[in-house]
Amino acid sequence: MTTHAVPGVLARACSEVRSAGPDDAVAGVAPRYVARPADLAEASAVMRAAAAEGLAAVPRGAGTRLAWGGPPTRCDLVIDTRRMNRVLEHAAGDQVVRVQAGVGLDQLAAVLAGAGQRLALDPPAPAPHTPPGSPSPAARNGSGAGTVGGVLATGAAGPLRLRYGTPRDLAIGITVVRADGTVASSGGKVVKNVAGYDLGKLFAGSYGTLGLIVEAAFRLHPLPGAVSFVTLDCADAAAAHAAIAAAADSALAPSAAEIDRPSRRAPVRVGVLLEGDPDGVAERAARMTELLGGSGTSAPPDWWGRAAAAAADGTVIRIAFWAAALTKVLRAVDTAASTAGLDPAVSGSAAAGVIYAAVDERAAPGAVSEFVLSLRAAVNGEAAAGPASPASGSAFTAAGSPSRASVVVLHAPSDVRDAVDLWGPVPSLGLMRAVKDQFDPDHRMAPGRFAGGI
Amino acid sequence: MTAQASRAAARPGAAIDALVPRMTQICGPDGVITDPLDLATYECDGLTAHRCSPGLVVLPTRAEQVAAIVSTCAQAKIPFVARGSGTGLSGGALPRSDGVLIVTSRMRTIIAIDPESRRAIVEPGVTNLAVSQAARPFGLFYAPDPSSQVICSVGGNVAENSGGAHCLKHGFTVHHVTGLEIVTPQGELTWLGDGTGAAPGYDLVGAFTGSEGTLGIVTKIVVKLTRIPEAVTTLLAAFATMGAGGAAVSAIIGSGILPAAIEMMDALAIEAAEAAVACRYPEGAGAVLIVELDGPAADVARETAAVRGICEREGAYEIRAAHDAAERAAIWTGRKSAFAAVGRISPAYIVQDGVVPRTALPEVLERIAELSASSGIRVANVFHAGDGNLHPLVLFDDAQPGAEAAAAVVSGEILDLCISCGGSITGEHGVGVDKSRYMPKMFGPGDLDTMQLLRCAFDPAGLCNPGKIFPTPRLCGEVPGVRRAPHPLVASGQLEHF
């Protein structure tokens, strides 16, 4: 790897800039420089310098989900947010926290727990694949589940999404730096607020393609006094679907309802999370057990929330669908997998309509590609052809509209990435390109990482 | 622009008149309103202080008609404004005399309900309450419940990101919308999102929701439905002072309980409600608190007992509990009638919609009382205490010269107070035309400029509900600070000031 001398304009902008090393590659693309701004002012200065030099920039937090998305078409500069790791304000009485983007989720959780509160996000933390004996950077700074900025930028969410939604639902304010260095905020630090456009929604899940997230404010929730996991094994997809539907349809307020099936011939494990006051949880767990069968325990099953971790170096595919289609989706996975000669692990938030299929890294790229394409064809075709109620089919077809499902490759080995379109069809791609053109007219922010090549 | 169109534009109103045949072709003769008297019925929304008779009103019944209408306007460079039921409180649907008002109230079909996926697909003119009514047989409801839910439309709710009393626990409109079919400001029919809530690409559903009609017009909405809770209990607690009521609110939230709603009214608001609907709230109350708890029955029973205990400890001298719908309605009557009821004690009033951090409530209420005392202008307080959303009602006599202006000053000072506490100028009513001048107090030039990039992506021509939200429109594609000629929107007469 060639070492590049840091241009003066960049060195003057930021107190910590260095030439990039081999570990700084983003999805295999080597940057020239790494800047670690200390604060918002430096972050803005770095972005101005990058604009002046025409540098393509990729934001990076702990790197937990840096493998998600496509490889950047250009990457000159990595902007590492981890020096910006301060909890700016924890207004416990208001159940609101304001943090810098580089704060680790684990670090934040520890601060909030002191006040009996939490940010109700539990994105899967990929299994560490650092060699034994060398603690990963993430483990060192308390960001094992990633940084706040990274979680927001990828829209990552875990089992709790059923009750609390995804990062976009909990963010109440955001401060970003635009590609040209302009600092902009929207929202604020109150939960209820409709003043102006909500840039937090736009930046949540934008993979760094619109600008650099520097600060965010979140709504918090009380830590539950008790938790109970009701778990059971189901013989097949239909039985698991029935259990998930019964849990979601019950009045027992589940916080999560997950499935997990490590291999096609294994039973489908179902787990339902109940949270709250200890007496209430015990009572609801008893009722949930009566409803579903199975048993309740206060510890999560070992497979809980590990959806995307199942294939840290392999391919992880996110399938989103309307919850009523669960059986059809699981069967479509099986059909596509057997055609491709694969046996993916399937798990995720079935009641919320988001599950993951994980294929290990030894699978042939062609087979993975075939699996993704046939799964995509099956769920798109199924959703258009078999609406849940008679009148609803026309609703989506009238405007040449999307199907009710999507199949997105979150991350994959490079040879798989080369073989398959990671995102599949994207509704309103034209509007998304227009948004990108406005925020980043020179296409210097994480170019090529996102849907539709954005 | 063709030579014919240029000539038409030279005479005020002529450009609009020229659209009538095409609009009639699209919507049919009974879908186009040109009579000045009929047009005048659309001159304002729920905020009657701002009025303007629209140039033309069209009443489409299908999404394709909306697309054809917008595309006609876009070609003729005529501004257009969407309107649902017209219940908005910030003038977001204020028409333009040189523009077309597109009323979606005839698009009121509930297209589908998918109970297992907990989704409904509805047209924009469907009323908020109608969605819950249609979902009820499946044990489901549509959670956002603005006070106007009997009449307000889901399309309007999407435009305003409407809240309601129960959004403390259940969230706002944006948390319950997973897909939108829209007509873009260029007249193209397209879907944002796919109803799953996890569609690939930017979250344009989230960005569009709450954009106050400035990014396009919604023609179909996929909403989330929520399981009807097993139990609901409503408590009414009377306190001698606002301070004691406020302390109870903090203690309830601090205990880890998340009620569905916590509402508070002060003595003046209680007096008005009593005069209007005889709500029979406890006599002599300086503040009443309404706390609603919902969820699994055992949890609700335990939380009800806990909330009762907290209220007693904080000095509540009377607590009532409602356990069925009729008793609940009796408690809510006073709160729900409060805005209109103020008409019984004052000829006119301004409804304000500021937000403060919940913990700042006691201080802010005290400062509002001081503002009221020093100005001699009465202020009644009704608010969503759980999330710090104040609705001060600033009372005045519109027969007195200068009284409205004086009330507006107090109302503005209350907003300044909210901003200085780290709050917001609007919690649920929107910015519209009413508060655009306050936006620069809450947001800096970089913030406003960046927000308008989104506007430029959707509506580069600036024809879709222009003049709302932003005090100064951004010229799309311009480099900031190097404008040399008059703004084209000013030059073309589409905007009065820049």
* 3-state secondary structure string across B233-266: EEEEEEECCHHHHHHHHHHHHHCCCCCCEEEEEE
Regarding whether A141 and A68 lie in a shared domain, the answer is no
pLDDT beyond 50 at A384: no
More confident residue, B117 or A2: B117
Looking at the fold, whether A30 and A95 belong to one and the same domain comes out as no
The answer to whether the Cβ–Cβ distance between B299 and A426 falls below 8 Å is: no
**pLDDT at position A136 over 70:** no
Classify domain B230-345 by CATH architecture.
2-Layer Sandwich (3.30)
Considering the domain architecture, whether residues A78 and A94 belong to the same structural domain is answered as no
Does the pLDDT of residue A290 top 90, yes or no? yes
Tokens of residue B468, six digits: 């709302």
Q: What is the pLDDT of residues B35-64, one digit of tens each?
A: 999 999 999 999 988 999 999 999 999 999
Task: Report how far residue A253's alpha carbon sits from residue B250's, in angstroms, rounded to the nearest whole number.
Answer: 25
> What residues of A are in contact with residue B181 (Cβ under 8 Å)?
395, 398-399, 401
Give yes or no for a contact between B265 and B335, defined as CB atoms under 8 angstroms apart: yes
Count A/B contacts: CB-CB distance under 8 Å.
307
Q: Please tell me whether residues A93 and A204 are part of one structural domain.
A: yes
Res B476: pLDDT: 83
ipTM score of complex = 0.94
Instruction: Inform me whether the C-beta atom of residue A440 falls under 8 Å from chain B C-beta atoms.
Output: no
The string of DSSP letters for A27-71 reads TTBPPSEEE--SSHHHHHHHHHHHHHHT--EEEESSSTTTTSSPP
| Greatest CA separation for chain A | 68
User: How do residues A30-39 score in pLDDT, each as one tens digit?
Assistant: 999 999 999 9
> For the ranges A5-14, A56-65, A157-166, B473-482, which has the lowest average pLDDT?
B473-482
Q: How does pLDDT run across A54-112, given as a tens digit for each residue?
A: 999 999 999 999 999 999 999 999 999 999 999 999 999 999 999 999 999 999 999 99
Is B357 close to A91, i.e. CB distance below 8 A? yes
Alpha-carbon distance B88 to B128, whole Å? 13
In chain A, which residue's Cα lies nearest the Cα of B475? A438
A392/B443 touch (CB, cutoff 8 Å), yes or no: no
- Considering the domain boundaries, does residue A3 fall inside one? no
The pLDDT value given to residue A211: 98
User: Is 0.90 topped by the overall pTM?
Assistant: yes
Question: Cα B310–B316–B320 angle (5° rounding)?
Answer: 90
Ranges assigned E (strand) in B168-254: 177-183, 189-192, 217-224, 226-227, 231-239
pLDDT of residue B336: 86
- Sign, CA torsion B20/B26/B28/B31: negative
CA distance A133 to B245: 57
Domain residue limits, chain B: 3-103, 110-227, 230-345, 346-434, 445-491
Phi-psi domain of B183 (left: phi exceeds 0; alpha: psi -120 through 50; beta: other) = beta
First to last CA, chain B: 24
Cβ contacts of A277 on chain B, cutoff 8 Å: 299, 302-303
Domain boundary among A164, A196, A222: A222
Flag if B197 and A252 touch (Cβ within 8 Å).
no
Boundary residue ending a domain (A297, A318, A353): A297
pLDDT at residue number A387: 36
What is the predicted pLDDT for the residue at A337? 97
Mean pLDDT of the region A333-339: 97
Cβ-based neighbours of A448, under 8 Å, separated by 6 or more: A70, A71, A72, A73, A74, A454
Quote the DSSP letter at residue A332: H
Report the residue of A213, A355, A431 to disrupt the B interface, i.e. the one with the largest count of B CBs within 10 Å. A431
Nearest CB among A189, A277, A406 relative to B196 is that of A406
Q: What is the model's pLDDT at position A125?
A: 74
CATH among 3.90.1300.10, 2.40.110.10, 3.30.43.10, 3.40.50.261 for B3-103 = 3.30.43.10
Structure tokens at B440: 């620069």
pLDDT score for A401: 52
Tell me the CATH number at A96: 3.30.465.10
Q: Are residues A249 and A183 in the same domain?
A: no
Report DSSP letters for A233-257, one per residue.
Answer: EESSHHHHHHHHHHHHHSSS--SEE
Nearest CB to B203 within list A185, A202, A406: A202
Q: How far is CA A114 from the centre of its chain?
A: 26
Q: Are B379 and B345 in contact (CB under 8 A)?
A: no
Q: What is the pLDDT of residues B226-239, one digit of tens each?
A: 999 999 999 999 99
Burial class (CB in 10 A: 0-12, 13-18, 19+), B6: exposed
Tokens of A206: 């934008």
State the average pLDDT over residues B462-470. 97
Tell me: do A74 and A94 sit in the same domain: no
What CA–CA distance (Å, rounded) separates A259 from A305?
A: 10
User: Which CATH topology does B346-434 take?
Assistant: Alpha-Beta Plaits (3.30.70)
Q: Which two tokens stand for residue B53?
A: 């008779």
Phi and psi, residue B487, nearest 5°: -55, 130
- Cβ A189–B430 below 8 Å, yes or no? no
Question: Of B419, B453, B493, which is closest to residue B96 (Cα–Cα)?
Answer: B493
Q: Does A57 touch chain B (CB under 8 A)?
A: no
Q: How far out from the chain centre does Cα B345 lie?
A: 25
What the block records as the tokens of A52 is 């002046």
Q: Can you give the pLDDT at residue A403?
A: 82
CA R_g for chain A: 22
d(CA B153, CA B131) in angstroms, rounded, equals 10
Most confident of A134-138, B274-278, B494-498: B274-278
Q: Is the pLDDT of residue A366 over 90?
A: yes
All residues of chain B having their beta carbon less than 8 Å from the beta carbon of residue A195 are 424-426, 431, 435, 439, 442-443
If asked whether residues A30 and A118 sit together in one domain, one would say no
Asked whether residue A430 is domain-assigned, the answer is no
Comparing CA positions, the residue from B134, B70, B137 lying closest to residue B100 is B70
Residues of A with Cβ-Cβ distance to B295 under 8 angstroms: 253
Supply φ then ψ for residue B88, to 5 degrees.
-60, 150
Q: Are A345 and A240 in the same domain? A: no
- Inspect the interface and report whether the beta carbons of B430 and A194 lie closer than 8 Å: yes
Q: Is A365 contained in some domain?
A: yes
Residue A302 lies in a domain: no
Give the tens place of pLDDT for each residue, B417-453.
999 999 999 999 999 999 999 999 999 999 999 999 9
Q: What is the CATH number of the domain that holds A70?
A: 3.30.43.10
* Cα Dmax for chain B: 77
Say whether both A106 and A57 belong to one domain: no
Q: What is the CATH classification number for the domain harbouring A382?
A: 3.30.70
pLDDT tens for each residue of A399-429: 445 689 999 999 999 999 999 999 999 989 9
To the nearest whole Å, the CA of A263 is away from the closest chain B CA by: 25
Q: In chain A, positions 334-393, which contact chain B (CB-CB < 8 Å)?
A: 352-354, 387-389, 391-392
State whether A279 and A348 are in the same domain: no
- Same domain membership, residue A206 and residue A122: yes
pLDDT for the residue B167: 92
For residue A69, give its domain range: 8-83+436-453
Q: What is the pLDDT of residue A310?
A: 60
Contact B96, B57 (CB under 8 A): no
- Helix spans in B227-354 (H): 242-254, 267-277, 297-313, 325-336, 338-341
Q: How many domains does the structure of chain A reveal?
A: 4
Residue B343, SS3 per DSSP: helix
CATH number at residue A284: 3.30.70.3450
Asked whether the beta carbons of B364 and B417 are under 8 A apart, the reply is yes
B-chain residues within 8 Å CB-CB of A183? 446
Query: Taken in order B80, B83, B86, B88, is the CA torsion positive or negative?
Result: negative
* Confidence class for position B463, pLDDT limits 50, 70, 90: very high
- Would A427 be classed as within a structural domain? no
CATH fold label, B110-227 = 3.30.465
pLDDT digits (tens, 9 = 90+) for A236-289: 999 999 999 999 999 999 999 999 999 999 999 999 999 999 999 999 999 999
Average pLDDT, chain B: 92
Residue A27 lies in a domain: yes
Among A191, A204, A250, the residue with its CB nearest the CB of B203 is A204
Find the mean pLDDT for residues B394-403.
95
pLDDT computed for residue A400 by the predictor: 46
Can you tell me the mean pLDDT for B309-329?
94
**Domain check: are A324 and A380 in the same one?**
yes
Q: Are B487 and B495 in contact (CB under 8 A)?
A: yes
Task: Name the residue of chain B whose CA is nearest to A403's CA.
Answer: B194
In sequence order, which residues have a C-beta less than 8 Å from that of residue B478 and are 6 or more positions away?
Answer: none
| Residue A20 CB contacts under 8 Å (≥ 6 apart), including other chains | A1, A4, A30, A31, A32, A33, A34, A78
Contacts of A174 in chain B (CB under 8 A): none
User: In sequence order, what DSSP letters do the residues of A258-303 get, joined into one string?
Assistant: EEEESSTTSPEEEEEEEEESHHHHHHHHHHHHHHH-SEEESSPPTT
Q: Checking DSSP bridges between strand A315-321 and strand A268-276, what pairing results, if any?
A: unpaired
| Amino acid B199: pLDDT | 95
Q: Amino acid identity, residue A154?
A: T
Asked if B368 contacts B377 with a C-beta cutoff of 8 angstroms, the reply is no
φ/ψ of residue A248, rounded to 5: -70, -30
**Is the predicted pLDDT of residue B145 greater than 70, yes or no?**
yes
